Structure 1
Amino acid sequence: MSPGGDGVAVPDTRPRFPADRGGVAVLGAGTIAQSAHLPAYEQHGVGVTGVWSRSSRTTDGLLERFPRVRRVYGSAEELLADPAVRFVDLATGPEDRLAWISAVVDAGKHVLAQKPLTLSADDLDRLPEVLAAADRAGVRVAVNHNGRWAPPWRAATLLVRDGAVGDVVGVTHVHDKPLPPLAGTPFDDVPHMLLTDYLLHWVDITRSWLLDGGAGPVVSVQASDSRVPGQPAQARNPWSATLSMTAESGATATLRIPGSAVSSRSGCPFWVHGTTGTLRGSVLLDSDRLDLDDGTSSTSIPLQGAWFVDGFAAAMGELMCAVEEDRSPENSAADAALSVRLVLAARDSADRGGVPVEVAA
């Protein structure tokens, strides 16, 4: 944080790295890795020792498109055995996630796992055993919750931590934008996909603000989803979803997707209300902004970068800094698991017709 012209501390939202930002290998070089992970590493000078994908077709031409990538490994085993690899960006799907994490840990490498960490309650119950093995091996396990470093959200996080709005009493998010293509994609096969997968970034950042803002952990979740007019018949998942959370202090949060919004100025506006002020902002689709209102005036907070792709670089940078500084990363797997428990509670609530589901604090 640095002082601004209006006396408001200006948060630094840029990705942070240690001096040595090399030794990364990407295990699972599919669409998200090539559209976000690798461009982020190129842009921020992260050294990539190589990549591996199950299909050789996936990596055709990859070395030409990404000059910082040194090689394509012939197998996952070859990648894990490479002594030049210090960090494995595990960009596979959530299936078999814990098995992959265990394999990376056994190889003595630090892990950045793609989100969601898992969508299995059984996996969450097994996670402490996997993380205990990581502790014994002296490696860190983090999750690619890149949304935490979307500049408006990151700035809001740092201001909340600094006490800029006092105690957080409420958080609200609204999706005022079209949904991405879902019909016919694997995402449409995930039950209650909007609640369990798509909204995970929003659930995760909201849980963080409630906790950092003194509201305590989320203790109750209520959710519903429904089909909407204009939704094509082949789209299996509902296109409307509402998820509400109540924290230990009584503070509340609501996340709302009304459907695939038609808008010439799309974005995802949000509000963080506190006892002494309010943060108002938006993320995505060139809508990035953040204002701090102290009840007498509103100050625009300067922002740097963009969620895509700076957030992806920052998630890896946080893991690297945590290793360098011998601490737990903000995006640790143990912390990410708490957000997964909330979306699973949302799924259960929707299955039960929207009744509140209690969450163990």
Structure 2
Amino acid sequence: MSAPLLDLPATGPRFPADRSGVAILGAGTIAQSAHLPAYAQHDVGVTGVWSRDPSRTAGIRDRFPGVGRVYASADELLADPEVRFVDLATGPEGRLAWLERIVDAGKHVLAQKPLVATSEDLAALPAVLARADAAGVRVAVNQNGRWAPPWRLTTLLLRRGDLGEVVGVTHVLDKALPPLVGTPFDDVRHMLLTDYLLHWVDVTRTWLATAPEGHGEVVAVRAYDSRVPGQPAAAKNPWSATVELSTAGGATATLRIAGNAVASEPSCPFWVHGTTGTARGSVLLDSDRLSLDHGDGVVDLPLRGAWFVDGFAATMGELMCAVAEDCQPENSAADAARSVALVLAAAASADADGAPVRVGAR
């Protein structure tokens, strides 16, 4: 059943009238495969880029004619008066130091996810964000998965009450893992829990948080990961991971990677069960879909856009709109830090053989 007459909220990126003045600090693989294509597609003005490795930016203006210049140094980028927004696309190591430099330069910043990767940096983050607030600088995080069309529409429908209060959320990754062996990602302990699943944890926390009166606050995390049959010996990280979230109001969520799944039609299906209805969908790999079921039939909802690259444009657009509207962005660093706390708790639980880790108080 289609849904042409439903009053559905828009899920795509939104921008203020002026979408200029972006500079990318750390123009590596993800910046060139997703950030720059997103900015080109959505007419975001890229003042320039910088990379610690000059070979990364060689020929970049030929590939992306919208890039104004290649900076000789990070200092030159931060000193440019035309730069209003810094897309901080480096890894999480040294993230707080970069944030402090950008804040001191008076630039708003969109930081790559994960915002931070250690409990020590997470504990130090509030002081950096207070420094940004004092300087009138907005800090957002590139949690681009929030704007994957099926996930984004689910979020907006939950916020307006279309499913009632969330009872449970389930995600299954029915797809092969990306190449990990020999990559820097494989050197990260509990990589699936702390990095790969962060988008899934983040959007799930966002859905649970739509519950009233703090009922959606995640208060406990249980997680475990394990090596699986067929996993090569050279792989340092386990290829199976499960995360379970429990909330103050009793709602729960489960996120599951069974292993390196063999699938002719790979997908990432999800279910959101609410007190008045159920949303069923999938993201990635041309599997995007979303339907609503209120017990009297299933309605297939139309979707527009794609996670890659609209989600990357949307995170910057949200930051720009927050600056123009003088408010905090939906993907603020303070909000994204709550998701980081959950994945760090998941790693701690895995280290404790799956024992629950408390992250809040009832």
1:260: which partner in 2? 260
Letter in 2 for 1:111: V
Given that 2:3 and 2:299 are in contact with CA atoms closer than 8 Å, whether structure 1 keeps it comes out as: no
Partner of 2:209, secondary structure, is helix
1:181: which partner in 2? 179
* Counterpart check, 1:344 vs 2:344: yes
Following TM superposition, by how much is the alpha carbon of 1:7 offset from its aligned partner in structure 2, in angstroms?
A: 5.4
Counting only pairs closer than 5 Å after superposition, residues 142-181 of structure 1 correspond to structure 2 as 142-181=140-179
Following TM superposition, by how much is the alpha carbon of 1:143 offset from its aligned partner in structure 2, in angstroms?
A: 0.3
CA distance in 1, matches of 2:286, 2:332: 29
* Counterpart check, 1:237 vs 2:245: no
Following TM superposition, by how much is the alpha carbon of 1:360 offset from its aligned partner in structure 2, in angstroms?
A: 2.2
Match of 1:84 among 79, 82, 85: 82
Following TM superposition, by how much is the alpha carbon of 1:213 offset from its aligned partner in structure 2, in angstroms?
A: 3.5
CA distance in 2, matches of 1:256, 1:5: 30
RMSD (Å) for aligned C-alpha atoms: 1.0
CA distance in 1, matches of 2:197, 2:317: 23
Match of 1:112 among 94, 106, 110: 110
CA distance in 2, matches of 1:229, 1:183: 16
Following TM superposition, by how much is the alpha carbon of 1:300 offset from its aligned partner in structure 2, in angstroms?
A: 1.1
Letter in 2 for 1:18: P
Query: 1:114-170 CA deviation, whole Å, 9 max, x = no partner?
Result: 000011111111111111111111110000000000000000000000101000000
Letter in 1 for 2:317: G
Following TM superposition, by how much is the alpha carbon of 1:13 offset from its aligned partner in structure 2, in angstroms?
A: 1.0
1:248: which partner in 2? 248
2:275: which partner in 1? 275
* Counterpart check, 1:305 vs 2:302: no
Match of 1:43 among 41, 44, 51: 41
1:226: which partner in 2? 226
Given that 1:6 and 1:299 are in contact with CA atoms closer than 8 Å, whether structure 2 keeps it comes out as: no
Counting only pairs closer than 5 Å after superposition, residues 128-147 of structure 1 correspond to structure 2 as 128-147=126-145
Following TM superposition, by how much is the alpha carbon of 1:298 offset from its aligned partner in structure 2, in angstroms?
A: 1.1
Match of 2:199 among 198, 201, 210: 201
Query: 1:83-137 CA deviation, whole Å, 9 max, x = no partner?
Result: 0000000000000001001100000000000000011111111111111111111
Once superposed, which parts of structure 1, at least 4 consecutive aligned residues long, lie more than 3 Å away? 4-8
Following TM superposition, by how much is the alpha carbon of 1:301 offset from its aligned partner in structure 2, in angstroms?
A: 1.2
Following TM superposition, by how much is the alpha carbon of 1:6 offset from its aligned partner in structure 2, in angstroms?
A: 6.3
Following TM superposition, by how much is the alpha carbon of 1:203 offset from its aligned partner in structure 2, in angstroms?
A: 0.2
CA distance in 1, matches of 2:54, 2:346: 38
* Counterpart check, 1:59 vs 2:74: no
1:70: which partner in 2? 68
Partner of 2:204, secondary structure, is helix
- Mean Cα displacement is larger for which, 136-145 or 4-13? 4-13
Query: 1:167-197 CA deviation, whole Å, 9 max, x = no partner?
Result: 0000000000000000000000000000000
The alpha-carbon distance between structure 1 residues 20 and 6, as it changes in their structure 2 partners (threshold 3 A), is closer
1:285: which partner in 2? 285
Given that 2:26 and 2:51 are in contact with CA atoms closer than 8 Å, whether structure 1 keeps it comes out as: yes
Query: 1:271-292 CA deviation, whole Å, 9 max, x = no partner?
Result: 0000000000000000000001
Following TM superposition, by how much is the alpha carbon of 1:10 offset from its aligned partner in structure 2, in angstroms?
A: 1.2
The alpha-carbon distance between structure 1 residues 169 and 206, as it changes in their structure 2 partners (threshold 3 A), is same
> How does the TM-score come out when normalised to structure 2?
0.98
Following TM superposition, by how much is the alpha carbon of 1:8 offset from its aligned partner in structure 2, in angstroms?
A: 3.3
Given that 1:163 and 1:213 are in contact with CA atoms closer than 8 Å, whether structure 2 keeps it comes out as: no
Following TM superposition, by how much is the alpha carbon of 1:11 offset from its aligned partner in structure 2, in angstroms?
A: 2.3
* Counterpart check, 1:328 vs 2:313: no
Partner of 1:10, secondary structure, is coil
CA distance in 2, matches of 1:320, 1:261: 39
Percentage of matched positions with identical amino acids: 72
Following TM superposition, by how much is the alpha carbon of 1:55 offset from its aligned partner in structure 2, in angstroms?
A: 0.9
1:353: which partner in 2? 353
CA distance in 1, matches of 2:228, 2:120: 33
Following TM superposition, by how much is the alpha carbon of 1:14 offset from its aligned partner in structure 2, in angstroms?
A: 1.1
Query: 1:232-254 CA deviation, whole Å, 9 max, x = no partner?
Result: 11001000000000011010000
CA distance in 2, matches of 1:182, 1:9: 42
Partner of 2:192, secondary structure, is helix
Following TM superposition, by how much is the alpha carbon of 1:5 offset from its aligned partner in structure 2, in angstroms?
A: 5.1
Partner of 1:152, secondary structure, is helix
